[in-house]
Amino acid sequence: MTLYQLGAEAPQIDASAFVADTANVIGKVTLHENTSVWFGATLRGDNERITVGANSNVQEGAVLHTDPGYPLDVGQNVTIGHQAMLHGCTIGDGSLIGIQAVVLNGARIGRNCLVGAGALVTEGKEFPDNMLIIGTPAKAVRPLTADDITRLQGNALNYVQRGQLFNTQLKKIGQDT
């Protein structure tokens, strides 16, 4: 992993977290227990704090950043999909942000929501709990079912288990070891 202190601000990472060696974690970033930050992800806490709650995952190529006055708060048991962009927003516990979705400054995603792949959540937009959110601009199209929410929870749990596996068994091989 590549960790950077910026001025007096250094990332705070729980010992149980998995951070891939090609991930970048910069400045005011807090990673709670059993979080995972996967290959090529960047969390740049240079303006405001970025907090990733327990059992949450930030998948490959995702970018998390902030602007002054817009901290970024990812709740517990959250999945941030591959190449998603989160910018100064709040993501509620148990939610999933789909592949290449964008969530902008001041937006708030409720608990147990699914933001579909490629969705664009515009600045300041707020969504209630338990919603399927899709489109550009993103709109809530229906409440999630109990089965939908169970699948979201299963996805987050899978990444907790993957992170633990990678923490204990991942071994770099080849010329650059």
Domain ranges (residues) in the chain: 2-169
pLDDT per residue over 82-132, tens digit each?
999 999 999 999 999 999 999 999 999 999 999 999 999 999 999 999 999
2 pLDDT exceeds 90?
no
Per the document, the length of the chain is: 177
> Which string of b and e fits 130-151 if b means at least 16 CB within 10 Å?
bbbbbeeebebeeebeeebbee
More confident residue, 48 or 1: 48
User: CB–CB of 74/49 below 8 Å?
Assistant: no
Task: Give the mean model confidence (pLDDT) for residues 59-81.
Answer: 99
pLDDT (mean) for 41-64: 99
Structural tokens at position 55 = 């059992």
Task: State if pTM tops 0.85.
Answer: yes
CATH 2.160.10.10 fits 2-169, yes or no: yes
Helices and strands in the chain, H and E counts: 1, 20
β-strands 131-134, 139-143: how paired? antiparallel
Q: Which residues contact 158 (CB under 8 A, 6 or more apart)?
A: none
Per-residue pLDDT reduced to its tens digit, 15-39: 999 999 999 999 999 999 999 999 9
Residue 177 has pLDDT above 60, yes or no: no
> Of all helices (H) and strands (E), which one includes residue 164?
helix 146-169
